[in-house]
Structure 1
């Protein structure tokens, strides 16, 4: 089916929906468009995006060990680490840069290959190759996203909270 046929079918479906259902469709399309624009922006910069599914759990565990290894299980429970790993920064359990200082620190890094993970997607990690032109502003539309180098020496986190972060931590 070509794109004009999809468009016609979508328009027919939309016309048959009651007004209250259109709100749901709008938000779904809005999220889909946002993801498309986010990925398109990276691809336009020459970034190669790979999905790592089999390796995801191991990479996430390595992030935990690299950036939260000195934080006790008791403190992790107190700061709700399981809910948001970035609480180690917002609760000041790790000294880090915040806000514009975090953005600047990330932007000046030499980057080629990165890992990218999302708080609420424990089954997938992304690997960005050819990421030399990636900057902090590329992640402004994302929520609870963790960007880090493949040697786990630094991490940049953009949260869903406008008053929290972004954070940059370097060992």
Structure 2
């Protein structure tokens, strides 16, 4: 991350835990069967692409993410257990996210606030996302 104001701590092996928290907080309204139907076990962002939750998309999602009051948040990926805790995240922007569209392990990125009230998702798919979900 290039933003010097951010305090970024690597939290190795937290990816699985954070994906579980994400599922519970943002897809908990779906039964296990419904989750399987939309292949949520393959890609968490299918929650948005299959329209199983209210979310913002594309530029509107980016603007919503960048407007959020961010004190502390986590960043994790779809296929790796590497994760980051970002403190002093008030100025965290999309351009600061550690994202690599060409490496499948690091190509689907999830940002979630420490209270699990919102999440921002960038997918590896051109034309799908980014997505922003705000819990009501």
Q: Verify: 1:94 aligned to 2:53, yes or no.
A: yes
Unaligned runs of 5+ in 1: 1-38
Q: Calculate the TM-score normalised by the size of structure 2.
A: 0.86
Aligned residues: 129
| Structure with more helix by fraction | 1
Q: Structure 1 residue 60: deviation in Å?
A: 2.6
1:55 positional shift:
4.6
Higher strand share: 2
Q: Which has the larger radius of gyration?
A: 1
Instruction: Select which of 128, 131, 134 maps to 1:167.
Output: 131
TM-score, normalisation: structure 1: 0.69
Q: Cα distance 1:104–1:67, how it changes in 2: closer, same or farther (>3 A)?
A: same
Gaps of 5+ in 2: 101-106
RMSD of aligned residue pairs (Cα, Å): 1.7
Partner of 2:83: 125
* 1: CA distance, partners of 2:7 / 2:65: 19
1:140–1:158 contact (8 Å) kept in structure 2 = no
